[in-house]
Structure 1
Amino acid sequence: MRKLQFIILLQFSILLFAQENEMKWQEKQYPDSLEAVNKAPENHIILFENENLRLLKIFVAAQKSEPIHSHRWPAVMWVYQPSDYEQVFYTENEKAERIPVQTVAMKKNELPMNVGFPVGKGDLGLSKNLGNQDLVAYRLDFKKKIDSSKKITKPTGWTWNEDLDGVKKAPASHQIVFEDEYTRILHVVLSKGEEESVHTHQNPCLFWVVKSQPIEYSEFKMDKKGKLRKSKTHQLPPLPTDQLLDQNKISDPEPPHSVKNLGTENFEAYRIEFKK
């Protein structure tokens, strides 16, 4: 219960601070040279980008610090691998002198993993990794405002019931990192030898592996009696990590399937699903 209260308080504090940032600092338009991927490219790796979205892997090596940089768009962030760290926020005066305005320090064991939180745009700052482990996080930037009137259209021939959704049918392997009316971010985890229940993913997504193992991927079809039967099985070697699987594009909804971990350690991946 205390951990849950802490996570809620942390999310609220970060969101409140981001809102204050936007109110106070948006009068200052930071140049493109200060934008994260330009100023700190070693710490901000683009995994995907189109006209609407940008997905970043944020990496700060142990005992290292990022350059001071800004973020142009609002986003959702979450931590995959924590470390002791300190985050310093800055503003600039009329002479373009950078002035620290707030410092946030966090211990590794205090930092919640795989808990998504919204962050505002326009912040100027840096992170210092004070620990002995690399700090890894992910950030989904929203480059355009989402049109809430538009819903995702299912592919032609999609007839699968919502009860087969991955979170409902295979909850053990699908942890919700973040969800709102527009997006759902899932952390997919399969332990050694584990096989998921048969399930679907009804919305298009970005999918990438963060900890790879050999897997067995099985496809299912409905038989004449209305039961799901295994139709094809593929054994796949360890997949590349931090690379989108579907040729660097948003993947289509996924019909009934299951995955079995054939490796010796956890298989881990992320799926960002788009509802609108």
Structure 2
Amino acid sequence: MENRGDKWEWPEELDALVAAPEHHRLLSENGYVRVIDTLIPPGEITKLHTHKWPASLYVISWSDFIRYDEDNNIVLDSRNLASTPVPASSLWSEALAPHSLKNIGDKDIHIISVEIKNTNGSA
């Protein structure tokens, strides 16, 4: 999902911090980045939400999950990934359209996301 911040098609009410605050906490924000702490305990499912900007993800802890789209269709089952991220590893994520995520494993999903708000180099 390509996004430059000015062409986002979903309402701000679906932003992760607004729509799913039980699982997303703002750590820092400026004109360039937004840093979010995501924590999803085993068995929990997030409310439908979006991630407006691409992000570098730092894995604190990992668990298997299923990501659903806004119509409750499965769009990703982490058990089908080619490799499983380990703690202290990092990943890249493009912006994410409306989705919910269910932790189907036995550990917390704990991720620090550094969302790249501005790709043109100015705040």
TM-score range (shorter-chain normalised) is 0.7 to 0.9
Return the match for 1:180 from 13, 27, 30. Answer: 30
TM-score normalised by length of structure 2:
0.78
Shift of 1:192: 1.5
| 3-state SS, counterpart of residue 43 of structure 2 | coil
Cα distance between partner residues in 2 of 1:230 and 1:155: 27
After TM superposition, the score normalised by the length of structure 1 is 0.37
SS of residue in 1 equivalent to 2:18 = helix
- Partner-residue secondary structure (3-state), 2:22: helix
The answer on whether the counterparts of 1:208 and 1:269 sit within 8 Å (CA) in structure 2 is yes
Post-superposition shift, 1:265? 2.4
Residue of structure 2 equivalent to 1:193: 43
Q: In structure 2, how many angstroms separate the alpha carbons of the residues matched to 1:215 and 1:153?
A: 28
Distance of aligned partners of 1:232 and 1:258 in 2 relative to their CA distance in 1, 3 Å threshold: same
Q: Report runs of 4+ in structure 1 exceeding 2 Å deviation.
A: 231-235, 241-246
CA contact (8 A) 1:209 1:239 kept: no
Name the counterpart of 1:234.
Answer: 76
Aligned to 2:54: 204
Which position in structure 2 is the counterpart of 1:243?
Answer: 89
Change (3 A) 1:244 1:206: same
Q: Percent identity?
A: 26
Which residue is equivalent to 1:256? 98
Aligned equivalents of 1:243 and 1:259: distance in 2? 20
- 1:271 and 1:230, CA in 2 relative to 1: closer, same or farther beyond 3 A? same
Give the 3-state SS of the residue equivalent to 1:209 in structure 2.
Answer: strand
Structure 2 unaligned regions, length at least 5: 119-123
Corresponding residue of 2:66: 216
Is the alpha carbon distance of 1:208 and 1:218 closer, same or farther for their aligned partners in structure 2, counting shifts above 3 Å?
farther
Report the number of matched residues. Answer: 112
What amino acid does structure 2 have at the position aligned with 1:190?
Answer: I
Shift of 1:233: 4.1
Larger of the two Rg values belongs to structure: 1
List runs of 5+ in structure 1 lacking aligned partners: 1-151, 221-228
What are the equivalent positions in structure 2 for 1:154-169 lying under 5 Å apart? 154=5, 158-169=8-19
SS of structure 2 residue aligned to 1:197: coil
Match of 1:26 in 2: none
For 1:184 and 1:194, the matched residues in 2 are separated by 24
1:264 counterpart SS class: coil
Compare the two structures and name the one with the higher helix fraction.
1
Q: CA RMSD in A?
A: 2.2
Which structure exhibits the higher relative contact order, with contacts defined as CA atoms closer than 8 Å and separated by 6 or more residues? Answer: 2
Measured in 2, the distance between the counterparts of 1:159 and 1:235 equals 25
